[in-house]
Structure 1
Amino acid sequence: MSIDQERRDFFRIEDEVTMQLTPQSAPVGNDTSPVDQLDSSLPEEFIILNQLRKLDNDSVQLMRSIQDKHRDIAQYFKTQNDKFELLSRYIANQLKDNFKLHQVNISGSGLKFHDSKDYPVNSNWHLKLLLYPDCYGFYCQTKVIQCEPKDKGFDVTLEFTNINTHDQDELVKHITRLQSQKLRKERLGH
């Protein structure tokens, strides 16, 4: 996908993410599908964070129903949910030792970041990425489509070459939420 085509297909936003890039040394084997391999390559912490997020998403409608009928019970469940949020943030913070915090320009099909390392164009990389404040983590395969010298380092553009559809959907939702928050703040003059 060309960079121009990507700009038309996906909205891009500036964000801060925790990520880890490792070279992709060999093509995906025939034993498992590329998507199955993506799911099995997630660190255990990512799996736990994603399960907590899924449970939270699954309970939204039920919480609205409870809130309409039983405010005290709804408040209790909200308190329990806040505990899970704290746990998610703790787990995400523990990952920072093995991952690097980056300012990125991100879309549903790739990202751009600045790094001190020169990445060869057309090289393939495994990317583990953690989004904030959602604490949603995923793994995908990427390809370097651009690496240009800039400010004593390099501006690196990665294209997602193999990403789970659910993860891509979550990424697009994350980007949409951040853009809505940004627009709201601008309207309020913050």
Structure 2
Amino acid sequence: MDQERRQFYRIDQPVVIDYKVVSSDEVAGSSQPYQFNVSPYFLLQSQLAEIDSESQHLIYKIGESTPHLATYLQQLNKKLDLIASTIAGTDLDLEHSHTQTINLSEGGLSFVTTEAIPMESYLALKLVFPDNGLGLLLYAEVQRCSEVDSGYELGVSFMLMPESCRTLLARLILEAQAKNRKRLVE
């Protein structure tokens, strides 16, 4: 994992994280965890972000020939994002959740937990990013479990991640990089 981990830019990111230890059969049965009871709105922001990402090049092309139409479409997109964040935000109930800062990359993450989990165990992960209401369900394999003051720090690598999730994580990481650079310049 050390070499693989170094291939990706890593950020510290606040997140609400939940996990369950699962079997290899459960992982093999689905590319996205089904072990969590989530509402239809849980993945709404992620799905809309995926559609937005897929349509950006189209809006750019429209903007070249019809700038007013492209501006109008971008405004409609903002309206949809506002409605979706309101709907998803009421469903996520982040006020009663514990947020912790994780170290995140496109390949995996590390986080602190109260229990030791053996290396090569499989986890179903539920991540909620409070800043944007983005929710992700992913599988991961434990690569590292180290004792720390507050419990155990787990290092996990993502498994069977759909390309759409990888794209969303990459975008999230790029946005965080841009914010960090802007903060350093100011």
- Report the TM-score, using the length of structure 1 for normalisation: 0.74
Partner-residue secondary structure (3-state), 1:81 = helix
Answering whether residue 91 of structure 2 is matched by residue 94 of structure 1, we say: yes
Instruction: For 1:9 and 1:29, locate their aligned partners in 2 and report how far apart those are by CA, in whole Å.
Output: 24
Q: Which residue of 1 aligns with 2:153?
A: 155
- Residue-by-residue CA offset, 1:42-61 (whole Å, 9 max, x unaligned): 84224432332233234434
- Aligned partner of 2:179 among 142, 161, 181: 181
Answering whether residue 48 of structure 2 is matched by residue 52 of structure 1, we say: yes
Alignment gaps of 5+ in structure 2: none
Q: Which residue of 1 aligns with 2:78?
A: 82
Code of the residue aligned with 2:165 in structure 1: it is D
Code of the residue aligned with 1:94 in structure 2: it is D
- Residue-by-residue CA offset, 1:75-128 (whole Å, 9 max, x unaligned): 54444322222233230452245864221101111111123x113222321012
Answering whether residue 110 of structure 2 is matched by residue 103 of structure 1, we say: no
Runs of 4+ in structure 1 displaced over 6 angstroms? 39-42
Identity between Structure 1 and Structure 2 (%): 22
- Aligned partner of 1:119 among 113, 116, 120: 116
Cα distance, 1:40 vs structure 2 = 6.5
Cα distance, 1:158 vs structure 2 = 1.8
Alignment length (residue pairs): 180
With over 3 angstroms needed to count, the CA separation of the structure-2 counterparts of 1:165 and 1:67, relative to structure 1, is: closer
Instruction: For 1:136 and 1:62, locate their aligned partners in 2 and report how far apart those are by CA, in whole Å.
Output: 23
Instruction: For 1:5 and 1:18, locate their aligned partners in 2 and report how far apart those are by CA, in whole Å.
Output: 27
Instruction: For 1:168 and 1:55, locate their aligned partners in 2 and report how far apart those are by CA, in whole Å.
Output: 14
Code of the residue aligned with 2:105 in structure 1: it is S
Code of the residue aligned with 2:143 in structure 1: it is I
Conserved? CA contact 1:16–1:101, under 8 Å: yes
Instruction: For 1:102 and 1:132, locate their aligned partners in 2 and report how far apart those are by CA, in whole Å.
Output: 10
Instruction: For 1:24 and 1:39, locate their aligned partners in 2 and report how far apart those are by CA, in whole Å.
Output: 9
Please show how residues 10-29 of structure 1 align to structure 2 within 5 Å: 10-25=8-23, 27-28=25-26
- Report the TM-score, using the length of structure 2 for normalisation: 0.76
Q: Which residue of 2 aligns with 1:7?
A: 5
Conserved? CA contact 2:145–2:152, under 8 Å: yes
Instruction: For 1:41 and 1:57, locate their aligned partners in 2 and report how far apart those are by CA, in whole Å.
Output: 28
Q: Which residue of 1 aligns with 2:167?
A: 169
With over 3 angstroms needed to count, the CA separation of the structure-2 counterparts of 1:132 and 1:149, relative to structure 1, is: same
Conserved? CA contact 1:20–1:129, under 8 Å: yes
Conserved? CA contact 1:88–1:135, under 8 Å: no
The farther-off stretch of 155-164 and 10-19 is: 155-164
